[in-house]
């Protein structure tokens, strides 16, 4: 069994530095992403603060245009911008979940902003807990929190939970339940950074639950040069999880 330890980004304080910046946004504000405005509440993940978010958004749009799903489930949606973008780019039924009430209210505010209430909903709950076997989707996606921290989940703040996943327990829940909520042609995806995350733990868990990984979205091998992370090229890719 792979025992997770905090990596250099956590140990050296780089992740917490971005969280500290996020904490300074103590009022509701508006940001612009790929030509669209989104409302961001305090204590909800702010993509402008975290350096990989721009790449996730571009890769997500690439994926939606590639697959053209009718229905989409996004786990851990935060302010809901990825789910909103799916709806604005052709998905007819979109569900966005999160584990904080602030995030759910934030998603609902953005749904109202774009007048998408007839085909979008925000659902409170952790991973697949809110759903029964009749809830099935063409695409299930999670930009998973991939930073391990040596701290129990219950001691993490709402903002910390957007980036930290102690022991990868949430990812394990994703692997356990995803296949039960797919349509006949449904597909499961996740965004992940091998450099900032723990790929050895990912591989252990996908083998445990009989999945395999395949890179599906990495347009032009998208990387980002981040000064605040020692000028390392930080990789980010979207993977498909394929059930064996």
DSSP 40-82: E-TTS--TTTSTTHHHHHHHHHHHHHHH--SEEEEES-TT-HH
Output phi, psi for 125, to 5 deg.
Answer: 150, 165
pLDDT band at 219 (very low <50, low <70, confident <90, very high): very low
User: What CA–CA distance (Å, rounded) separates 147 from 4?
Assistant: 10
Output phi, psi for 59, to 5 deg.
Answer: -70, -35
Domains defined along the chain, listed by start: 8-243 (3.40.50.150)
**With 80 as the cut, is the pLDDT of residue 112 above it?**
yes
DSSP 3-state percent helix, strand, coil across the chain (nearest 5): 35, 30, 35
User: What CA–CA distance (Å, rounded) separates 29 from 3?
Assistant: 40
Q: What is the pTM of this model?
A: 0.92
Give per-residue pLDDT as tens, 58-83: 999 999 999 999 999 999 999 999 99
């Amino acid at each position: 069994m792979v025992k997770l330890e905090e990596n250099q980004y956590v140990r050296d304080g780089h992740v917490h530095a971005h969280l500290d910046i996020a904490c300074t946004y103590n009022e509701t504000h508006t940001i612009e992403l790929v030509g669209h405005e989104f409302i961001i509440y305090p204590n909800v993940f702010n993509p402008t603060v975290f350096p990989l978010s721009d790449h996730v958004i571009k890769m997500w749009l690439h994926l939606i245009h590639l697959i053209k799903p009718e229905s989409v489930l996004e786990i851990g949606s935060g302010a809901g911008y990825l789910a909103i973008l799916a709806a604005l780019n052709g998905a007819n039924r979109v569900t966005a979940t999160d584990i904080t009430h602030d995030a759910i209210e934030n998603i609902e505010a953005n749904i109202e902003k774009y007048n998408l209430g007839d085909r979008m909903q925000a659902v409170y709950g952790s991973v697949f807990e809110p759903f029964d076997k009749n809830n099935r989707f063409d695409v299930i996606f999670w930009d998973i929190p991939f930073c391990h921290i040596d701290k129990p989940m219950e001691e993490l703040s709402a903002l910390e939970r957007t980036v930290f996943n102690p022991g990868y327990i949430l990812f394990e829940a994703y692997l356990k339940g995803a296949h039960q909520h797919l349509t006949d042609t449904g597909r499961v995806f996740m965004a992940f950074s091998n450099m900032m995350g723990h790929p050895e733990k990912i591989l252990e868990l996908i083998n445990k639950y009989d999945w395999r990984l395949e890179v599906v979205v990495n347009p032009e091998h998208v990387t980002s040069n981040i000064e605040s992370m020692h000028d390392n090229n930080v990789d980010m890719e979207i993977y498909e999880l394929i059930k064996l």
